[in-house]
Amino acid sequence: MTTAGAEPGHIVAGKVLRDTGEILKKSFVKIWVIALILFVPVAILSYFQQDSVIISLIHSLALLLASLYMTGTMVRVIQDVEADGRVDATVGELLGSISAKLWPLFLLGIVTSVLLVVGFVLFIIPGIILALMWFVAVPVLVAEDKGVFESMSRSSELTKGNRWRLIWLIVIIYVLLFIIFFIVVLLAAITPIIGVIGGILVAIVAYPYLAIIIAVTYYELLEAHGESKPGPGVATMAPPSGDMPPPSGEMPA
């Protein structure tokens, strides 16, 4: 992905959306299979959440984790595309590459969510500013292997100078989230099972799109800052040293 048409050091929201569409075209089957794996359990929990406050809380946490996992996986998808123009990794490899980061991703999601809620409740503007600052915190954690607070700080650094350009992406994301919520609630009002099915269908279309927007934005910000892109794709990563094949002509012991 290039930043043709953008001012030096600046990103273009329209280009982020175009690149997002291209990523979806390159591997829409794998992306939707990943979305099904992540969001079917969430949709099932939504069926039972009205009967229990505890299940409702579990559903909310599961939705947060699935969304974070989806975004992290899309970072890996883009790494694969950047490596050779296509997605070589399997669904299992893509999901497995994120599994070790689930706990820090979950902590990052909890910390940023709590602070964003506080920011929006107290004053709207601080909440928006925080959302813009931490827009690419998840891709940073995944791609650069940083900790929770390091990822938040790094995201703030990367978005500096581009936050008002990111506002359009924030608007798109929140509008889509509102539409998702509205559709699911409307369908659930007809009958809970239709709400579950509708939730699954909406999730496999909308959540990957939102996740790719965030992941693509991270790469665009790296380019805007003139920084190198992190690592190869999942499928081209070198195996651990103990699994390296022997030199040509040599037999393993």
Q: How confident is the model at residue 2 (pLDDT cuts 50, 70, 90)?
A: very low
Question: pLDDT-derived band of residue 232, with 50, 70 and 90 as boundaries?
Answer: low
Q: What is the pLDDT of residue 200?
A: 80
pLDDT at 56 over 50: yes
Q: H or E segment at 119? A: helix 102-122
Long-range CB contacts (< 8 A, 24+ apart) of 51-60?
none
pLDDT band at 239 (very low <50, low <70, confident <90, very high): very low
pLDDT-derived band at 4, boundaries 50, 70, 90: very low
Degrees (nearest 5) of the Cα angle 193, 199, 200?
95
- Is residue 237 over pLDDT 90? no
Question: What is the tens place of the pLDDT at every residue in 167-226?
Answer: 888 888 778 778 877 877 787 777 777 877 877 887 788 888 889 999 999 999 999 888
What DSSP assignment string belongs to 13-81? Answer: HHHHHHHHHHHHHHTHHHHHHHHHHHHHHHHHHHHHGGG-HHHHHHHHHHHHHHHHHHHHHHHHHHHHH
- Domain coordinates in residue numbering, the chain: 13-228
Structure-token pair, residue 158: 């990367």
Ranges 26-35, 43-52, 87-96, 218-227: which has the least confidence: 43-52
Which structure tokens are listed for 142?
Answer: 């995944």
- N-term to C-term CA, the chain: 44
Give the whole-angstrom CA distance, residue 160 versus residue 35: 31
Which tens digit of pLDDT belongs to each residue from 114-161? 998 888 777 777 788 898 999 999 999 999 999 999 999 999 999 998
- The percent of residues in the chain predicted with pLDDT above 90, rounded, is 29
Average pLDDT over residues 57-70: 89
Give CA–CA dist 130/120, Å, rounded.
9
174 or 68, higher pLDDT = 68
- pTM (predicted TM-score): 0.79
Q: Which of 28, 5, 2, 40 is nearest to 196 (CA)?
A: 40
Count of alpha carbons within 13 angstroms of residue 5, beta-carbon side: 9
pLDDT at res. 233: 59
Average pLDDT over residues 84-98: 87
Residue type, 63: L
Distances (CA, A) of 131 to 14, 25, 54, 118, 172: 19, 28, 28, 12, 13
Give the count of beta carbons closer than 10 Å to the beta carbon of residue 233.
22
